[in-house]
Amino acid sequence: MSVLKRWRVWVSLFMLSFCFYAIKPNFSENQVSQKINFGLDIQGGYSYLLELNQGEYKENLLTKTSQILESAYNINSSINNGNIVIPTNQNLDALDNITIQSLGIELLDNTSDEYIYSISEQSFNQSLSDMTLNAVEIVRSRVDYLGNKELSIQKVGLNKILLEIPGNLDSNVKDVISKTAKLTLHLEKKTFANTTLFTNESTGEEVRVQEIANLTGDYIQDASLQFSQNEPVVSFSFNKEGSELFAKMTSENVGKRFAIVLDGALITAPVIREAITGGSGQISGNFTNETANNLAIILKSGSLPTQISIIQEKQVGPTLGQAGVKKGVYASLIALIVITLFMIAYYRVSGLFTALTIVTCLALLFALMSLLNTTLTLPGVIGIVLTIGMCVDANVLVFERIRENFQSKIDNPKNDGFNAAYITILDSNLTTLFAAVFLFAFGFGPIRGFSISLIIGILSSLIVTYVLLKLFLEITPSKYIGLNR
Amino acid sequence: MIAFYSFRKKSYLISLFLIILTTSIIFFKGLNLGIDFKGGLNIEVETTLSNAELSSFIRDLDLNREFIIKKEIGSDIFSIRIESGKDNANFIEEFISLIKQNPSIEILISEYIEPTFSDELIKNSLYALASSLIVIAFYVWIRFDWQFAISGIVALLHDVYISMGFMSLFNIEFNLTMIAALLLIAGYSINDTIVLFDRVRSITSAENNKDTFENNVNYSVKLNLRRTILTSFTTILALLCLVVLAPINLTEMPIVFIFGVIIGTYSSIFIALGLVGDLNYEAVLKARDS
* Separation of alpha carbons B156 and B185, rounded Å: 8
* Residue-range domain boundaries for chain B: 5-34+118-289, 40-113
Three-state DSSP at B23 gives helix
The string of DSSP codes covering A82-136 is TEEEEETTS--TT--HHHHHHHTEEEEEE-SSEEEEEE-HHHHHHHHHHHHHHHH
Residue B164: the pLDDT is: 94
Stretch (H or E) spanning A260: strand A258-262
Q: Do A439 and B249 touch (CB under 8 A)?
A: no
pLDDT interval class at A356 (50, 70, 90): very high
**Residue of B93, B114, B184, B202 to mutate, testing the A interface (most A Cβ within 10 Å of its Cβ):** B184
Q: Do B106 and A317 touch (CB under 8 A)?
A: yes
Interval A322-349: pLDDT, tens: 666 677 778 778 888 988 999 999 998 9
**Residue of B156, B183, B200 to mutate, testing the A interface (most A Cβ within 10 Å of its Cβ):** B183
Cβ contacts of A438 on chain B, cutoff 8 Å: 128, 131-132, 135
Q: Which residues, including other chains, have CB under 8 Å from residue B190's CB and lie 6 or more apart?
A: A428, A431, A432, A435, B136, B140, B152, B155, B156
CATH of domain A183-311: 3.30.1360.200
Nearest chain B residue to A452, by CA: B180
Residue A322: the pLDDT is: 66
Residue B161: the pLDDT is: 95
Cβ contacts of B195 on chain A, cutoff 8 Å: 397, 424, 427-428
Residue A321: the pLDDT is: 61
Q: Do B125 and A447 touch (CB under 8 A)?
A: yes
Residue A21: the pLDDT is: 92
**Which of A281, A47, A296 has the alpha carbon at shortest distance from A176?**
A296
- Relative to beta strand A152-156, strand A114-119 is unpaired
| Residue of A312, A438, A454 with shortest CB distance to B131 | A438
**Residue of A347, A432, A433, A448 to mutate, testing the B interface (most B Cβ within 10 Å of its Cβ):** A432
**Rounded to whole angstroms, what are the CA distances from A83 to A58, A107, A119, A430?**
10, 10, 7, 48
Cβ contacts of A447 on chain B, cutoff 8 Å: 125, 128, 176, 179-180, 183
pLDDT at A149 over 70: no
Q: Do B139 and A309 touch (CB under 8 A)?
A: no
The residue type of B263 is I
Q: What is the mean pLDDT of residues A63-73?
A: 86
pLDDT at A357 over 90: yes
Three-state DSSP at A475 gives helix
| Residue of B135, B177, B249 with shortest CB distance to A435 | B135
Interface check B157 vs A, CB under 8 A: no
Which fold would CATH assign to domain B40-113?
Alpha-Beta Plaits (3.30.70)
Q: Do B179 and A400 touch (CB under 8 A)?
A: no
**Residue of B145, B230, B244, B252 to mutate, testing the A interface (most A Cβ within 10 Å of its Cβ):** B230
Interval A423-454: pLDDT, tens: 999 988 998 898 888 888 888 877 888 889 99
Sign of CA dihedral A388, A391, A397, A400: negative
Residue B102: the pLDDT is: 85
Three-state DSSP at A276 gives coil
Sign of CA dihedral A279, A285, A288, A291: negative
Q: Do B183 and A442 touch (CB under 8 A)?
A: no
| C-alpha count within 13 angstroms, C-beta hemisphere, residue A326 | 6
Interval A157-210: pLDDT, tens: 889 999 988 877 777 888 888 787 788 888 888 888 788 888 887 777 888 888
Residue B20: the pLDDT is: 96
* Residue-range domain boundaries for chain A: 3-43+317-480, 45-52+128-166, 55-123, 183-311
Q: What is the mean pLDDT of residues A361-385?
A: 88
Cβ contacts of A44 on chain B, cutoff 8 Å: none
- To the nearest whole angstrom, how far is the Cα of B39 from the nearest Cα of chain A? 9
Q: Do B246 and A346 touch (CB under 8 A)?
A: no
Residue A99: the pLDDT is: 83
Cβ contacts of B249 on chain A, cutoff 8 Å: 320, 324, 378
Three-state DSSP at A182 gives coil
Per the CATH hierarchy, to which homologous superfamily does domain B5-34+118-289 belong? Multidrug efflux transporter AcrB transmembrane domain (1.20.1640.10)
Q: Do B128 and A442 touch (CB under 8 A)?
A: yes
Cβ contacts of A343 on chain B, cutoff 8 Å: 234
**Residues lower than pLDDT 50 in chain B:** none
Interface check B56 vs A, CB under 8 A: no
Confidence (pTM): 0.80
pLDDT at A395 over 90: yes
Residue A438: the pLDDT is: 84
* Separation of alpha carbons B161 and B159, rounded Å: 6
Per the CATH hierarchy, to which homologous superfamily does domain A3-43+317-480 belong? Multidrug efflux transporter AcrB transmembrane domain (1.20.1640.10)
Cβ contacts of B133 on chain A, cutoff 8 Å: 435
Cβ contacts of B226 on chain A, cutoff 8 Å: 400
**Is there a contact between A482 and B168 (Cβ–Cβ < 8 Å)?**
no
The listed range with the strongest mean pLDDT (A58-72, A457-471, B35-49) is A457-471
CATH of domain A55-123: 3.30.70
Q: Which residues of B39-49 are buried (b: 16+ CB within 10 A; e: fewer)?
A: bbbbbbbbbeb
- To the nearest whole angstrom, how far is the Cα of A180 from the nearest Cα of chain B? 16
* Separation of alpha carbons B130 and B239, rounded Å: 26
Share the mean pLDDT of chain A. Answer: 86
Nearest chain B residue to A343, by CA: B234
Tell which B residues from 109 to 138 touch A, by Cβ distance under 8 Å: 109-114, 116-117, 121, 124-125, 127-128, 131-133, 135-136
Q: Do A311 and B125 touch (CB under 8 A)?
A: no
* Separation of alpha carbons B164 and B169, rounded Å: 9
Q: Do A435 and B136 touch (CB under 8 A)?
A: yes
**Is there a contact between A299 and A234 (Cβ–Cβ < 8 Å)?**
yes
- To the nearest whole angstrom, how far is the Cα of B136 from the nearest Cα of chain A? 6
**Which of A466, A398, A460, A437 has the alpha carbon at shortest distance from B138?**
A437
- Relative to beta strand B40-47, strand A258-262 is unpaired
pLDDT interval class at A455 (50, 70, 90): very high
The string of DSSP codes covering A397-430 is HHHHHHHHHHHTT-SSHHHHHHHHHHHHHHHHHH
**Residue of B82, B90, B96, B227 to mutate, testing the A interface (most A Cβ within 10 Å of its Cβ):** B227
Nearest chain B residue to A328, by CA: B246
* Separation of alpha carbons B147 and B141, rounded Å: 8
| Residue of B110, B136, B237 with shortest CB distance to A342 | B237
